[in-house]
């Protein structure tokens, strides 16, 4: 199909605003060209052309070929070189470039335009036949792999055989003649594998390469990467065709990658690497370990100065940390790429805050720069630096974080073990984009080669995984699945720990400590607090968690799950007595023992929260959860019955327990006798809890701390359930108050976690002072999924096959569960305009769900203590993106 769309843009026709069309790389090459920076000339084929290629059944149209020919003619004119000209050949690189950077996931071809004739021209022109033939063999190798689909190792084998025969260790020892011999053998491989000769016509080489880059949009690793980073599959990739410049033309040439600030820590320093006499792919692929950028300063001081100037110009222009690729050809600097650099969460926070201080960006921009999801990294436990650790070996600290796991040497194995729930650390000489699934599955990555800008490092930083690169002290034997550090042997399956911030590797496990907020992080969050309108509370049921959450900025407890208090080892026997009691008196006896314990729990939590709101949820799970497992009990009773000299007392006790466990056993406990249903049938349990809450609050009142408990009834589906239990709370209050002086302010509310409750929220609001959406159960009951069964059985399949767009237990399902939330808020506030509403399911700590809660007028979100900072940031981002919403009730 032909269209009139413009599919090809010269670099001087584009700009950074055209990223959707030109891809990130193309847009930035255009922007740099317009700023008159030294960019080798070229053109970009648009992402629309890629989509057209797929629409046309994976073929490039004649009209695109015409456009490419025209662009090529102009490039020839601009450079004075021409395609296939053996005196002055035009050589180009062909690179992918999608809207979102996907490092190494798609294909690249360098040195295109070389053939049996032009290679001679290049040799004459450069007076360097060795370089020319080396370039040609690299081209054949890349083209054959990417376009013709021939395995790289076939070519690598030829080179290693030759080196072995000659007694060489390194590629640079090979001469022009050696490379010519290699080229001869390479061409034979191509003939054998494809039944055709290696294509000699540069135009054919170009068309085929463009198709291959389009096709690489849908290779396995790119698909996996997109899924991980939630990049749409329909964007397509652009293709950049650019005049080749050579970093491997001798000791006055080289290639490098640099970040304008340290992407691991955010420090203000040029952070980069440089390889003398090498081509760009050598650095990115991590095949040779490069040297720090300061080496460039020593060998080519003027080029270094120019590079520093340009880097800082680019950072100011883009107002963000840049990741820059460059090449020096015979003493002349060329810029090949600039993009916003991938960075760790620590660096993201530091750079954003510093840039505000430098006057480069404003606070709102800084707040939007940090991805709340990424903050999880900063809120993870890390290695306790005060402990003296025995370090086995050290490498380059490529991506910070602590990790412990079993050593694996292969990406497939990493994935397989991780699926079984094992924590693994992937150890490789270097990683390639094919290892992406193994990297995702691993806790951390350790490579013996490659630098801080190698594939493993870049990808790990993007994912927030700890990574050590260039750890040359480890000698890996992939065959034997082991590595050695001197005398120490580490086998597959052995446990190691790594600290990605220091680059240290330790044997076994190491002690970890809780995270702390850095001064920059605290500052950024203080800006978030000024902007946000949504309150952030925490889910905590111990004083320690409450303190942690308050340190992280929680403004109250949104959910205190009291069942966890029942599960403490010293309480389980009493709880069991309570459950097993045959009469109300017996039960009261057990409850009387539990009362002071619960009271003590609440006292300490209230005290920790110093008057901030605390929502306490009465007992929720079914009682059988506190009793022994039915199957284990059956086996135990059976064993006792069969034993020769039975202990009859023990047998009777176990049989009693078995009877009770059987009577409490349910077919589907998630929908069974739990939550308020328990409180209605066994009111004495809830009454004890409520009494404990009031007693604790009264004691604190005497100590001068005013607490306003929020008592929450779980799993309400019908208004009568709430009205009955509200009445019970009121009566209990009257009973407790009689013997004490003073009055308490308290409220009674409900969880909304059953669809019926959301749909009848107007009736329920009559008896509720607040609603708290329990979106874990609300998601289960709305979808009719039991979470454990869904996640264990079919949910992954649903996600892989796009039956569902997201895991609804992680990101709120706006269309279904979300509609119920919205309905509930509207109905509830119609009856009670000042009804307080919040969310306390897992979604309360997830950015998209937080945004949804903001849009639907909820007052607060509540999440686990470690997620409080990210919820504060996400709440601020919601306000910045959607504007202030003002008073919601």
Alpha-carbon distance of 461 to 264, in angstroms, equals: 7
What's the min distance (Å) between Cβ of 35 and ligand PEP? Answer: 52
**Partner interacting with residue 841 (select from ligand PEP, Mg ion, none; CB below 5-8 Å by kind):** ligand PEP
Alpha-carbon distance of 601 to 598, in angstroms, equals: 5
**Beta carbon nearer to ligand PEP, 215 or 751:** 751
**Partner interacting with residue 121 (select from Mg ion, ligand PEP, none; CB below 5-8 Å by kind):** none
Alpha-carbon distance of 601 to 544, in angstroms, equals: 11
**Beta carbon nearer to Mg ion, 236 or 774:** 774
Strands (E), 451-494: 466-469, 475-477, 482-485, 488-491
DSSP character at residue 528: H
Judge whether 368 and 880 are in contact, CB under 8 Å: yes
What's the min distance (Å) between Cβ of 696 and Mg ion? Answer: 24
What's the min distance (Å) between Cβ of 753 and Mg ion? Answer: 5
**Partner interacting with residue 601 (select from ligand PEP, Mg ion, none; CB below 5-8 Å by kind):** none
**Beta carbon nearer to ligand PEP, 470 or 675:** 675
**Beta carbon nearer to Mg ion, 372 or 774:** 774
**Partner interacting with residue 440 (select from Mg ion, ligand PEP, none; CB below 5-8 Å by kind):** none
Longest dimension (CA), the chain: 105
For Mg ion, which stretch binds (CB under 5 A), given 140-148, 399-407, 576-584, 774-782? 774-782
Residue 747 CB-density burial (10 A; 0-12 exposed, 13-18 middle, 19+ buried): middle
For Mg ion, which stretch binds (CB under 5 A), given 184-192, 320-328, 719-727, 749-757? 749-757
Judge whether 867 and 845 are in contact, CB under 8 Å: yes
What's the min distance (Å) between Cβ of 778 and ligand PEP? Answer: 6
Sign of CA dihedral 582, 584, 588, 591: positive
Closest by CA position to 350, among listed 570, 517, 183, 569: 517
What tokens were used for 114? Answer: 């070389």
Judge whether 438 and 418 are in contact, CB under 8 Å: no
Alpha-carbon distance of 142 to 108, in angstroms, equals: 8
**Beta carbon nearer to ligand PEP, 464 or 844:** 844
Count of residues in contact with ligand PEP, rule CB under 6 A: 10
What's the min distance (Å) between Cβ of 786 and ligand PEP? Answer: 12
Exposed e or buried b for every residue in 207-216, given b needs 16+ CB within 10 A?
bbbbbbbbbb
For Mg ion, which stretch binds (CB under 5 A), given 107-115, 321-329, 393-401, 771-779? 771-779
**Beta carbon nearer to ligand PEP, 190 or 840:** 840
For Mg ion, which stretch binds (CB under 5 A), given 60-68, 334-342, 719-727, 770-778? 770-778
Strands (E), 381-465: 382-383, 393-394, 396-399, 402-408, 424-428, 444-447
For Mg ion, which stretch binds (CB under 5 A), given 88-96, 356-364, 727-735, 776-784? 776-784
What's the min distance (Å) between Cβ of 777 and ligand PEP? Answer: 3
Give the list of residues 6+ apart from residue 637 with CB closer than 8 angstroms, or none: 651, 654, 655, 658
Residue 153 CB-density burial (10 A; 0-12 exposed, 13-18 middle, 19+ buried): exposed
Give the helix/strand (H/E) hosting 515. Answer: none
Alpha-carbon distance of 610 to 121, in angstroms, equals: 81
Contact between 128 and ligand PEP per CB under 6 A: no
**Phi-psi domain of 454 (left: phi exceeds 0; alpha: psi -120 through 50; beta: other):** beta
Give the list of residues 6+ apart from residue 674 with CB closer than 8 angstroms, or none: 620, 621, 622, 714, 715
Which of 23, 774, 828, 869 is the binder for Mg ion (CB under 5 A)?
774
- The residue number whose beta carbon is nearest to Mg ion equals 777
Kindly name the residue from 178, 437, 455, 843 that is annotated as catalytic: 455
What tokens were used for 22? Answer: 């030109």
Exposed e or buried b for every residue in 343-370, given b needs 16+ CB within 10 A?
bbbbbbbbbbbbbbeeebbebbebbebb
Alpha-carbon distance of 534 to 838, in angstroms, equals: 9
For Mg ion, which stretch binds (CB under 5 A), given 204-212, 527-535, 728-736, 746-754? 746-754
Count of residues in contact with Mg ion, rule CB under 5 A: 3
Q: Is 343 helix (H, G, I), strand (E, B) or coil?
A: coil
**Beta carbon nearer to ligand PEP, 338 or 781:** 781
Kindly name the residue from 469, 676, 840, 863 that is annotated as catalytic: 840
Contact between 841 and ligand PEP per CB under 6 A: yes
Sign of CA dihedral 184, 186, 192, 195: negative
**Beta carbon nearer to Mg ion, 282 or 777:** 777
Which of 753, 813, 846, 851 is the binder for ligand PEP (CB under 6 A)?
753
What's the min distance (Å) between Cβ of 791 and ligand PEP? Answer: 14
Contact between 840 and ligand PEP per CB under 6 A: yes
**Beta carbon nearer to ligand PEP, 274 or 771:** 771
Alpha-carbon distance of 697 to 603, in angstroms, equals: 7
Compute and round to an integer the Cα radius of gyration of the chain.
Answer: 33
Give the helix/strand (H/E) hosting 396. Answer: strand 396-399
Which of 520, 777, 842, 846 is the binder for Mg ion (CB under 5 A)?
777
Sign of CA dihedral 196, 198, 202, 205: positive
Site string for ligand PEP, 613-652 (x = CB under 6 A): -------x--------------------------------
Site for ligand PEP in 768-787 (CB under 6 A): 774-777
Alpha-carbon distance of 871 to 536, in angstroms, equals: 7
What's the min distance (Å) between Cβ of 560 and ligand PEP? Answer: 11
**Beta carbon nearer to ligand PEP, 755 or 841:** 841
Which of 324, 546, 559, 633 is the binder for ligand PEP (CB under 6 A)?
559
Concerning whether 455 is annotated as a catalytic residue, the answer is yes
Contact between 561 and ligand PEP per CB under 6 A: yes
Alpha-carbon distance of 813 to 818, in angstroms, equals: 6
Instruction: Please state the length of the chain.
Output: 889
Alpha-carbon distance of 580 to 568, in angstroms, equals: 18
What's the min distance (Å) between Cβ of 845 and ligand PEP? Answer: 12
**Partner interacting with residue 851 (select from Mg ion, ligand PEP, none; CB below 5-8 Å by kind):** none
**Partner interacting with residue 840 (select from ligand PEP, Mg ion, none; CB below 5-8 Å by kind):** ligand PEP
Judge whether 848 and 810 are in contact, CB under 8 Å: no
**Beta carbon nearer to Mg ion, 462 or 675:** 675
What's the min distance (Å) between Cβ of 634 and ligand PEP? Answer: 28
**Beta carbon nearer to ligand PEP, 433 or 714:** 714
Q: Is 682 helix (H, G, I), strand (E, B) or coil?
A: coil
What's the min distance (Å) between Cβ of 566 and Mg ion? Answer: 16
What's the min distance (Å) between Cβ of 675 and Mg ion? Answer: 7
Give the list of residues 6+ apart from residue 213 with CB closer than 8 angstroms, or none: 94, 95, 96, 106, 107, 108, 109, 146, 237, 239
**Partner interacting with residue 736 (select from Mg ion, ligand PEP, none; CB below 5-8 Å by kind):** none
**Beta carbon nearer to ligand PEP, 408 or 863:** 863
Contact between 790 and ligand PEP per CB under 6 A: no
**Partner interacting with residue 107 (select from ligand PEP, Mg ion, none; CB below 5-8 Å by kind):** none
Three-state SS for 101-142 is CCCCCCCEEEEECCCCCHHHHHHHHHCCHHHHHHHHHHHHHH
**Partner interacting with residue 559 (select from Mg ion, ligand PEP, none; CB below 5-8 Å by kind):** ligand PEP
Site string for ligand PEP, 348-387 (x = CB under 6 A): ----------------------------------------
Using CB under 6 A as the criterion, which residues of the chain lie in contact with ligand PEP when the complex forms?
A: 559, 561, 620, 753, 774-777, 840-841
User: Where does this chain bind Mg ion (CB under 5 A)?
Assistant: 753, 774, 777
Active-site residues, by number, are: 455, 840
């Amino acid at each position: 199909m032909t269209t009139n769309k413009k599919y090809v843009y010269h670099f001087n026709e584009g700009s950074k605003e055209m990223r959707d069309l030109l891809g990130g790389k193309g847009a930035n090459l255009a922007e740099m060209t317009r700023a008159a920076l030294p960019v080798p000339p070229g053109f970009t084929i648009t992402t629309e052309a890629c989509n057209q290629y797929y629409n046309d059944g994976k073929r490039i149209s004649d009209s695109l070929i015409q456009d490419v020919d025209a662009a090529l003619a102009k490039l020839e004119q601009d450079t004075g070189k021409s395609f296939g000209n053996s005196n002055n050949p035009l050589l180009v690189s062909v690179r992918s470039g999608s809207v979102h950077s996907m490092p190494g996931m798609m294909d690249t071809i360098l040195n295109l335009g070389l053939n049996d004739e032009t290679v001679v021209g290049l040799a004459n022109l450069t007076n360097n036949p060795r370089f020319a033939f080396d370039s040609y063999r690299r081209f054949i190798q890349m083209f054959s792999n990417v376009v013709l689909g021939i395995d790289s190792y076939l070519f690598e084998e030829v080179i290693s055989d030759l080196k072995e025969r000659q007694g060489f260790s390194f590629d640079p020892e090979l001469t022009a003649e050696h490379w010519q011999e290699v080229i001869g053998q390479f061409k034979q491989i191509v003939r054998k594998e494809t039944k055709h000769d290696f294509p000699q016509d540069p135009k054919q080489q170009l068309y085929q390469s463009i198709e291959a880059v389009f096709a690489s949009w849908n290779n396995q690793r790119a698909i996996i990467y997109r899924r991980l980073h939630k990049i749409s599959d329909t964007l397509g990739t652009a293709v950049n065709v650019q005049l080749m410049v050579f970093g491997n033309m001798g000791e006055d040439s080289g290639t490098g990658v640099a970040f304008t600030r340290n992407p691991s820590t955010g420090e203000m320093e040029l952070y980069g690497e440089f390889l003398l006499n090498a081509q760009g792919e050598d650095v990115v692929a991590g095949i040779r370990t490069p040297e720090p950028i300061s080496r460039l300063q020593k060998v080519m001081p003027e080029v270094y100065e120019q590079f520093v100037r340009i880097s800082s110009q680019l950072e100011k222009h883009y107002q963000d940390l840049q990741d820059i690729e460059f090449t020096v050809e015979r003493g002349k600097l060329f810029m090949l790429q600039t993009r916003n650099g991938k960075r760790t969460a620590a660096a993201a926070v530091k750079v954003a805050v510093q840039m505000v201080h430098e006057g480069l960006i404003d606070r709102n921009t800084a707040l939007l720069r940090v991805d709340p999801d990424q903050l999880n990294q900063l809120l993870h436990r890390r290695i306790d630096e005060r402990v003296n650790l025995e370090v086995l070996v050290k490498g380059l600290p490529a991506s910070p974080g602590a990790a412990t796991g079993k050593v694996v040497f292969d990406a497939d194995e990493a994935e397989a073990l991780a699926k079984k729930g094992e924590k693994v650390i992937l150890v490789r000489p270097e990683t390639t984009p094919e290892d992406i699934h193994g990297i995702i599955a691993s806790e951390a990555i350790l490579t013996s080669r490659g630098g801080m800008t190698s594939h493993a490092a870049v990808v790990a930083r993007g994912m927030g995984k700890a990574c050590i690169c260039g750890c040359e002290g480890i000698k890996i034997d992939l065959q034997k699945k082991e590595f050695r550090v001197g005398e120490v042997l580490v086998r597959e399956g052995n446990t190691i720990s790594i600290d990605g911030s220091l680059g240290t590797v330790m044997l076994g496990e190491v002690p970890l400590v809780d995270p702390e907020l850095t001064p920059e992080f605290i500052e950024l969050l203080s800006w978030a607090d000024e902007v946000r309108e949504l309150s952030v509370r925490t889910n905590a049921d111990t004083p320690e968690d409450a303190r942690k959450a308050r340190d992280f900025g929680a403004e109250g407890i949104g959910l205190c799950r009291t069942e966890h208090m029942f599960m403490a080892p010293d309480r389980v026997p009493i709880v069991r007595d309570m459950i097993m009691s045959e009469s109300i008196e017996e039960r009261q006896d057990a409850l009387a023992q539990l009362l002071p314990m619960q009271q003590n729990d609440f006292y300490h939590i209230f005290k920790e929260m110093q008057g901030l709101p605390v929502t306490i949820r009465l007992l929720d799970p079914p009682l059988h959860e506190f009793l022994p497992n039915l199957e284990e009990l059956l086996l135990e009773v059976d064993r006792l019955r069969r034993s020769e000299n039975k202990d009859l007392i023990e047998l009777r006790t176990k049989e009693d327990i078995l009877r009770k466990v059987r009577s409490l056993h349910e077919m589907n406990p998630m929908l069974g006798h739990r939550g308020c249903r328990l409180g209605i049938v066994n009111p004495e349990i809830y009454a004890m809890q409520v009494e404990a809450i009031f007693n604790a609050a009264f004691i604190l009142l005497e100590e001068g701390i005013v607490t306003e408990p929020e008592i929450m009834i779980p799993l309400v589906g019908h208004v009568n359930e709430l009205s009955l239990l509200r009445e019970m709370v009121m009566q209990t209050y009257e009973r407790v108050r009689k013997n004490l002086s003073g009055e308490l302010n308290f409220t009674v509310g409900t969880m909304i976690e059953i669809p019926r409750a959301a749909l009848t929220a107007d009736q329920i609001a009559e008896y509720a002072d607040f609603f708290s959406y329990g979106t874990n159960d609300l998601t289960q009951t709305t979808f009719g999924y039991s979470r454990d069964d869904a996640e264990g059985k079919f949910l992954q399949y649903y996600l892989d096959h796009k039956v569902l767009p997201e895991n609804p237990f992680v990101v709120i399902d706006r269309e279904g569960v979300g509609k119920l939330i919205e309905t509930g808020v509207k109905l509830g506030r119609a009856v009670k305009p000042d009804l307080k509403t919040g969310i306390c399911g897992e979604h309360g700590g997830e950015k998209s769900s937080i945004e949804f809660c903001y849009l639907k007028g909820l007052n607060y979100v509540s999440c686990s203590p470690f997620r409080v900072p990210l919820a504060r940031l996400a709440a601020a981002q919601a306000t910045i993106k959607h504007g202030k919403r003002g008073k919601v009730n």
